[in-house]
A = this chain, B = another copy of it.
């Protein structure tokens, strides 16, 4: 906690006094017990915490959440862990020990949500099969994230983000023309699964708050399902005889829509209408191409997109991205720079939106869900050290 920063929520004070509700978020009062590790589950509970939920991480004693050891590292430990566990509390419990199970069960008795991302069957072997949870804590919403789902032929397969991107189809349509499949450069399968899990948990809470007789629901979210749910029209195209290919940054149905090399980087142009096509030629000083029969209409431009790209890049490569961005935008052509991480860190819009927040002394993405009546803190209670909240939690949950 950064002392004296108005925007920082102090979970400890808040829990004890009930104060600060007006600035904590709409999920204030929701208690999440989080058994999850690494990314999909912690991302889900980070989203809930950012919106005001109280999240207690229950971690194995010793090393805790595996991602506490993940690179990159900063002064205080894993910056990776710090990024996704801000604002949470930590309690180390060995669920194979009777005394620790008692503490865990006292947490469950007051929790609204239990979240895990164990491989299917592990929680049952720890003595908490679904039926036990439903019987003993009938109001508890329980969300389980898994690679492939709680059952089915693949249920016990290993699921890393890399594997789900491959098996879920996104890798087959991502990458440069003629090259091998490329992974999306961020763990999109984990992250999207965390978001779908948050949606499921919140939907179950909406229902429960409307009707206290409703049982706590079990929310079963699989990474493979979530990855497939993001394929947009790729499955449709395959069924209609036009399966999508890897085509770099292009769109298959309009041109020029692609990334073009500039003097200092790349710019994307998305000219899908005739006025946008004419605006592109004007911005680049290529009005001569307007009468070129190879580019007379969108069908011709798509058919000759390779030659068109060469012609455009001969011009775009002569000046920096910012020049072309301004010229194209002034003519109503959809466009934008392909930005590096360094450029994002200096971006005025992200600064305006307060989207870069502190984690372990570094900048990470903040909460993209802005809700009126709540502020947008640029610092939050930092990620907890393993078992950091033990004494306070044992005193509270006894």
Contact = CB atoms under 8 A, between A and B. Distances in A.
Interface of A: 25-30, 39, 47, 51-52, 70-72, 74, 79-80, 83, 148-149, 151-154, 157-158, 160, 162-176, 179-188, 191-192, 195-200, 202-207, 209-210, 214-215, 217-222, 224-226, 228-240, 242-244, 246, 248-251, 253, 257, 259, 261, 266-268, 270, 329, 332, 334-345, 348-350, 352-353, 355-356, 359, 362-373
A342 B210 CA distance: 43
Contacts of A184: 170, 174, 184, 188
Contacts of A352: 149, 151-153
A163 B219 contact: no
Given A355-B225, A370-B219, A199 B202 contact: yes
Contacts of A253: 71
B233 A72 contact: yes
6 contacts: A162-B268, A164-B336, A170-B184, A171-B249, A198-B199, A202-B202
B163 A355 contact: no
Contacts of A176: 175-176, 179-180, 182
B240 A72 contact: yes
B342 A163 contact: no
Contacts of A355: 224-225, 228-229
A240 B341 CA distance: 11
Contacts of A47: 199
A6 B231 CA distance: 27
Nearest 9 pairs between A and B by C-beta?
Answer: A173-B185, A238-B341, A202-B202, A225-B368, A152-B352, A26-B207, A209-B209, A218-B372, A176-B179
